[in-house]
Chain A
Amino acid sequence: MTPEIEKSVVVDGPPEDDADAKVAKAPSPYIQAFKKPKGIVGFSLVGTLVLLALLSPWLFPGGYDEQGRDSLYTASLDHPFGTDQVGRDIFVRSIYALRTDLSLIFVAVPIAAVIGTLLGLTGVLSRRLGNASQRIFDVILGFPGLVLGITIAAILDPGWKSLVITITILSIPGFGRIARSQLLSEQEKEYVLAVRVLGVPKWRVLTRHILPNVLEPAVVQVALAMVLGIFIESALSLVGLGIQPPNPSIGTLLNASIRFMSVQPYYVLGPMVTLLLLTLGLNLIADSLNASLEER
């Protein structure tokens, strides 16, 4: 085998569909996603919300627990979303709730992504390991999520910590399956078999060929898993075992707004708008990423 052939087969890998590196370097799909209309809206939405959440202690130095006698007031200039059942400003609470939820998903989902992907890729080491991790995913997927959340809350005391762990565990299979399915499909491809015959070490195959293919759907999955994470937080807060008062979270605000629906129907606007904007933004990002990845 001449060094040239070896280089073109092993180092450069098989020609991709769009002839990378050869003619015009195709722009990274991530940048592409930014430019699409969906991407623009999505990224700006999420970006604004993240910024608001980060700056909240300076924007609203009073904190999220300024109670008072003026409870369940409708929207006014002082209180754009009204006040809650103990007189706190709902707008301020919503921003701080955003902060809580963002902190949850920005910790839990990346960790889940790493663990899930690693687990999913164990198949590269041995077939058995790969099967074993698939079984782990099956158990987690079949396990009733709410039961898991409540049990962990009982073990660790309800709150931020137990929620992070619950969300992480429940998000792992999503990433694991993606990694594993990419691994399986790539492993079957002829060029990989050829390259392995040539004696290229497994890890090189992994990093050079498989990982890039895993990364793309995984990034999309990050956005989707974040949305799911918020749902999990909301569901657990519905049974009172999510974020504990007086800390606000989207779930606890929703819960309270529903309880007082008959007295102040507009209470629900604050948390609902926040929730919708955030999930919409994340979904749009996922969509535009998906679209630009497909186009490639």
Chain B
Amino acid sequence: MGRYLLRRIPSVVLVIVVASFVGFSLPRLAPGDPAVTLAGPDATLEQIEAIRAEEGLDQNLITQYFDWVKDVFNGDLGTSILSGRPVSELISSRVATTVELAVVALIFMLIIGAVLGVIAGSARNRYVSAFVDSFNSVLLGTPPFLVGLIFILIIGVELNLLPFSGSVPITEDPVEGFRSVFLPALALALPPAAAIARLVQAQMRRTRGEQFVELAVAKGVPSRRISVRHVLRNSTDAGIVLAGIRAGELLAGAVVIEAIFARNGLGQLAVQSVQNRDYQVVQVIVVGAVAVALAIQLLTEILLAALDPRIRLT
């Protein structure tokens, strides 16, 4: 595996460099700059110019880029022009919230997806099967934020069962923390869970027809047990790949979910920073996101290879 990682390094580096370049230049293509936001909506041109000069925003772009890269290598992620705070501080205070949401959603997604898939796949009754199938289709066709909003309305507002605003870190208060992350994580997890359920269901159908199953049935093993055991094993590969892809989407979906459930996470920070042209923050978030996506990808491949001897890390 060490050799594999070593071989991946050049491409990883390339991706991160490209991401840094895009993250740096793309926001600067947009009209306006942080001076406009800093100066306020009633500012005069003179005031904006003065602030621009004060913040050093009129320097050569190439120099700015390399200065930033140099700083990052020295561990300095930059300073938010808008709040004057270090970017690392802004991010670290929110990353826990987002990670928490993503992890819980991931767990929900796997469990619900597997359960739904097993139910759908092992159901003998055609109607049950069709019902779960349509349920899956509907779930797949609904954006997570819509699911989230419906949850807020029904469970949060009408039934008042669970909180739906703000966030409490699980490490600080496990019970309250879990309660406050439950609805958003569920909303985020359901649509991809449907995708996983599909996969499991299809695998179960396929497995039923395979020879070793028939052999086991002939031996007297109950067919339900066969299906679940063998399926769960054989679908691990595709499942992991799917989970890996979906995990990446989870982070993207987390942004919108955070907005709806008023969780103070990275997503909100990202959106605000782009709208306020807080370049330093946006750059770091972009590169960070790409790096995380890459890491998930690598992890998926390693996991796959570890679990399935047919797959070799190339």
Please list the residues of chain A having a beta carbon within 8 angstroms of any beta carbon in chain B.
131, 134-136, 138-139, 141-148, 150-151, 154-155, 227, 230-231, 234-235, 238-239, 254, 258, 261, 272, 275-276, 278-280, 282-284, 287
Contacts and interface: CB of A to CB of B under 8 A. Distances in A.
Interface stretch (B50-58, B111-119, B137-145, B217-225): B137-145
B146 A272 contact: yes
Nearest to A262: B157
A239 B27 CA distance: 17
Interface of B: 11, 14-15, 18-19, 22-23, 26-27, 29-32, 137-138, 140-143, 145-146, 149, 153, 248, 251-252, 255-256, 259, 267, 270-271, 274-275, 282, 285-286, 289-294, 297
B111 to A, nearest CB: 23
B274 A142 contact: no
A261 B149 CA distance: 10
Given A147-B274, A147-B282, A139 B290 contact: yes
A283 B259 contact: no
B15 A139 contact: yes
A234 B145 contact: yes
B271 A231 contact: no
Q: Which 5 A-B pairs have the closest CB atoms?
A: A279-B141, A142-B293, A142-B290, A154-B30, A231-B143
B15 A138 contact: yes
Contacts of B30: 151, 154-155
Given A231-B143, A238-B145, A142 B248 contact: yes
Given A261-B153, A276-B138, A141 B293 contact: yes
Contact of B271 (A147, A272, A275): A147
Contacts of A272: 146
A180 to B, nearest CB: 14
A144 B145 contact: no
A105 to B, nearest CB: 14
Contacts of A141: 248, 293
A162 to B, nearest CB: 11
B208 to A, nearest CB: 15
B14 A144 contact: no
B292 A279 contact: no
Contact of B141 (A142, A146, A155, A276): A276
A282 B251 CA distance: 24
Contact of A143 (B19, B29, B143): B19
B11 A131 contact: yes
B286 A284 contact: no
A148 B289 CA distance: 12
A144 B142 contact: no
Contact of B290 (A138, A231, A234, A282): A138
A135 B271 contact: no
A234 to B, nearest CB: 5
B270 A146 contact: yes
B11 A135 contact: yes
Contacts of B289: 142-144, 147
A144 B252 contact: yes
A161 B31 CA distance: 17
Contact of B252 (A146, A254, A280, A287): A146
Given A138-B293, A144-B286, 19 more contacts: A138-B15, A139-B18, A139-B19, A139-B290, A142-B291, A143-B23, A144-B252, A146-B267, A147-B270, A147-B286, A151-B30, A151-B274, A154-B30, A234-B143, A234-B146, A238-B145, A239-B259, A276-B138, A276-B142
Contacts of B259: 238-239
Given A147-B285, A279-B142, A283-B140, A142 B292 contact: yes
Contacts of B19: 139, 142-143
Contacts of A283: 137, 140-141
Given A238-B145, A238-B259, A154 B31 contact: yes
B143 A146 contact: no
Contacts of A135: 11, 14-15, 18
B156 to A, nearest CB: 12
Contacts of B274: 147, 150-151, 154
B22 A143 contact: yes
Contacts of A136: 18
A138 B297 contact: yes
Contacts of B282: 147, 151
A239 B294 contact: no
A284 B271 contact: no
A239 B271 contact: yes
Nearest to A250: B143
A276 B14 CA distance: 40
Contacts of B22: 139, 143
A158 to B, nearest CB: 11
A136 B290 CA distance: 11
Contacts of B14: 135
B294 A146 contact: no
A227 B141 contact: yes
B271 A150 contact: yes
Contacts of B153: 261
27 contacts: A136-B18, A138-B15, A138-B293, A139-B19, A142-B19, A142-B292, A143-B19, A143-B22, A143-B23, A143-B286, A144-B251, A144-B267, A147-B289, A150-B271, A151-B282, A154-B31, A154-B32, A154-B274, A155-B26, A155-B30, A231-B143, A234-B143, A235-B143, A261-B153, A275-B141, A278-B141, A280-B137
